[in-house]
Copies of this chain bind each other. A is one copy, B any other.
Amino acid sequence: MTRAGEGRVPHVVIVGGGFVGIYAARALRRAPVHITLIDRKNHHLFQPMLYQVATAGLNPADITAPIRSIVRRQRNVEVVLGEVTAIDTAGRAVELADGTRLPYDYALIGTGARHSYFGHEGWEALAPGLKSLEDALEIRRRVLTAFERAEREPDPVRRHAHLTFVIVGGGPTGVEMAGAVAEIRSYALRRDFRHIDPRDATVLLLEGGPRILPAYPESLSAEAKRELRARGVDVRTETFVTDIQPGAVQAAGWTIPTNTVIWAAGNVASPLLQTLCTPLDRQGRAIVQRDCSIPGHPEVFVLGDAAAFEQEGAALPGICPVAIQMGQYAARAIRSDLASRPREPFRYWDKGQLAVIGRGQAVADIGRLHFGGFVAWLLWIFIHIFFLIGFRNRVIVLLEWAWAYATYQRGARLITEPWRPAAPPDPKAPCPDPSPLPPTGHVPHRS
């Protein structure tokens, strides 16, 4: 597995098969380099649509593609399924959990971010965030199970706690989750229960700042809030969560009894960056230079959500277009090096941003154009399907959406659990008489 210098071509190690890794590898497809692309998972995840899996609209496989398939035809890439534990910048090697050391000439770090609980790491088990497929399936399990528990709960207070869904954080993910949970409640589950009316469920979106979607123009924040309210989401701004316990959330003096909390409030970059021995910002991101490399190590690029890159006085946001452009940029910088040309500095080209609120409703902030409604929603659908990697996924996803839109149904309403060997038989009641006499009549008595 040690390939530095193999055939005399530089060895590029890419850590992370997200947008950074996939787009960097693709942009190096004709470069005279050998690439090793490492990820803990076998699949690339289309994170912008992850909330659709968490809310039972799409299947896990619809928004993923095996990394090996994506780069199959690119002969200079090798894919390694493995966990990187450290990057030894002095020794120029990436270390894996199984003890392997991969020497590199260039390292591209696109390890993304996890949610941050601002020092309350114990909250995670009570309030999962939405970064991985496993997160999404766990949230889907919790949301669907909450309705099932409510259906069987005779006590009205406890029943209402099951039917209260709290989403913490009013950024795009929080808004999308709140809108989608509100729709499950109002449409998909509406006629499925006998003792509860799912429309009675409360969906609360808590935002610490003065408005939701703070990265958008104020007019769009106001429109998003109005549209969420029209869908029955209770939006509360300036409401900081101060504690999460089993069964309740404390926020701005309120105690909210709830069993389902979803965390969309903060990010922290991958802890792997701490092994780079380079300055990090408060969110744990590596403070990179104009060429996205770290100080003293022009051969080490930190990219995407893992990078703190300032442009026009503000750090670039942790969104997918930044990751794609940074991945492509790093590939360009390496090609410049190999051609002995100077590297151009990185510059993010902002094409605008879109956030979905619900069925037929989104907000768009594109240059000077700020608009909401059905057109923004269609734009969101087409852009997202266009960027979905893998043709099969695009067709299936479009079909799933058309179906969901026409019927208000959600196709992936599935509560799954971790696999374990079946428990051994454990009968509860001892048998008084193992073989009772056969019956004489057929019509049973009725109580």
Contact = CB atoms under 8 A, between A and B. Distances in A.
A42 B148 contact: yes
Interface in A213-246: none
B60 A428 contact: no
A403 interface: yes
Interface stretch (A13-21, A131-139, A168-176): A131-139
Contact of A81 (B133, B152, B342): B152
Contact of A436 (B296, B409, B431): B296
A298 interface: yes
Contact of A69 (B145, B296, B413, B416): B413
A442 B298 contact: yes
B434 A277 contact: yes
A392 B413 contact: no
A249 to B, nearest CB: 17
Contacts of A157: none
A151 B66 CA distance: 15
A426 B279 CA distance: 17
B95 A43 contact: no
Given A125-B421, A446-B10, A86 B427 contact: yes
Contacts of A429: 86, 88, 275, 277
A61 interface: yes
Contacts of A62: 59
A160 interface: no
Interface in A378-434: 392-393, 395-396, 399-400, 403, 407, 409, 411-422, 424-429, 431-434
19 contacts: A4-B447, A43-B414, A68-B189, A68-B192, A69-B192, A79-B194, A82-B152, A90-B432, A100-B152, A133-B416, A134-B419, A278-B435, A296-B436, A297-B439, A298-B439, A298-B442, A342-B442, A392-B403, A396-B396
